Amino acid sequence: MDDATPALQARQLYAAYHQQPVLENLTLTLPQRQWTAIIGPNGAGKSSLLNLVIGSLAPLRGELEVLGQSAPSQRRAGNIAYMAQQERMEWDFPISVRDTVLTGRYGLMRHDPLWQRLLPQRWASARHYQAAEAALDAVDMADLAARPIGELSGGQKKRVLLARALAQQARILLLDEPLAGVDPPSEALILATLERERNAGRTIIMVTHDLPSARCHADNVLLINRRLVGMGPPEAMLSDAMLARLAVGSSPGFQQGGVSVAA
């Protein structure tokens, strides 16, 4: 696959839960090496779209290619790192912050050559530990690396889960509301980290309700409300007129909230 291969290509894609459609007729192409913000009201199908991309939800109809291949095969190949909106985690499990982030590397460890896996753990895993440490630094959690995850606040947990995704150093970073519930300094740190990752050539696809961050940082904005409402540069997509179109059929608070935040 070369850089011209789209990160995502969807053609007339439909998704449903129990025959109830949640995404209809999505046709879109997202290039690699760009930062795309996915914006839409609650229930618009944003998380469902990410579930299609990681292969945990099968399309009802249509086609979806990730880096030119099927979503499940790219996930298995380690090309997609994913941070869920609500992680199903055993937070009471006695595991440290550092080891939680290191679990992001497990899929890659399986690809280590046999000779490397036969080395003492400390040498065999050095690059995996380094990636985990760099990711912890990026979300400002290095000081709490030895702490059991059960002792973290909600915002700190979110930052650890983001570090676990960053540690995978995958070509595509799929982040479902990475900014929700974090304080302003952490948000600034996360945005600076994602900016660095994008500049290093990674593709970032981020669901967010944070319109000012999307406006400042994203290269592309994808507006969805079950169907594709628009796709293009932030200044065009986050206009009052486009946000009003996005809100059609949504709860009354969405349009008002969206426009007032964007103002």
Q: Which chain residues interact with ligand ATP by CB under 6 A? A: 17, 22, 40, 42-48, 85
The answer to whether the beta carbons of residues 221 and 237 sit under 8 Å apart is: yes
Pick what 218 binds: ligand ATP, Mg ion, none; C-beta below 5 to 8 Å, kind-dependent: none
**CB nearer ligand ATP, residue 39 or residue 194:** 39
Residue 40 interacting entry, from ligand ATP, Mg ion, none, C-beta within 5 to 8 Å by type = ligand ATP
Give the number of residues in contact with Mg ion, rule: CB under 5 A. Answer: 3
Q: How far is the CB of 138 from Mg ion (least distance, A)?
A: 23
Q: Which does 106 bind (CB under 5 to 8 A by kind): ligand ATP, Mg ion, none?
A: none
Give the residue with the Cβ less far from ligand ATP, 134 or 262. 262
Q: Please enumerate, as own/partner, the contacts of 188-197 that have beta carbons within 8 Å and a separation of 24 or more.
A: 189/138, 189/139, 189/140, 190/139, 190/159, 190/162, 191/216, 191/217, 193/138, 193/139, 193/166, 194/35, 195/35, 196/138, 197/166, 197/173
Looking at the Cβ atoms of 39 and 189, the one nearer to ligand ATP is 39
44 vs 102 by CB, closer to ligand ATP: 44
Q: Specify the amino acid at residue 92.
A: D
Q: How far is the CB of 10 from ligand ATP (least distance, A)?
A: 15
Cβ contact 101:167 at 8 Å: yes
Q: Report, in Å, the least distance between residue 23 CB and ligand ATP.
A: 8
Report DSSP letters for 114-170, one per residue: HHHHTS-HHHHTHHHHHHHHHHHHHTT-GGGTTSBGGGS-HHHHHHHHHHHHHHT--
C-beta of 48: minimal distance to Mg ion in Å?
Answer: 8
Both tokens of 41, joined, read: 């009201």
* Shortest reach from residue 57's CB to ligand ATP, in Å: 8
Number of C-beta neighbours around residue 32 at 10 A: 18
Minimum distance, C-beta of residue 47 to Mg ion, in the bound complex (Å): 3
The one of Mg ion, ligand ATP, none whose footprint includes residue 73, by CB under 5 to 8 A per kind, is none
Q: Which of 5, 34, 47, 56 binds Mg ion (CB under 5 A)?
A: 47
Which range in 16-24, 44-52, 101-109, 130-138 contacts Mg ion by CB under 5 A?
Answer: 44-52
Between 41 and 234, whose beta carbon lies closer to ligand ATP? 41
Q: Report the Cα 14 to chain-centroid distance in Å.
A: 21
| CB of residue 77 to Mg ion, shortest distance in Å | 25
Residue 214: which of 178, 162, 245, 241 has the closest Cα?
Answer: 178
Contacts of 54 (CB under 8 A, 6+ apart): 71, 75, 80, 82, 174
Per-residue tokens: 104? 């992001």
Residues 75-114 that bind Mg ion (CB under 5 A): 85
**CB nearer ligand ATP, residue 1 or residue 58:** 58
Site membership for Mg ion, residue 42 (CB under 5 A): no
CB atoms < 10 A from the CB of 145, how many?
Answer: 18
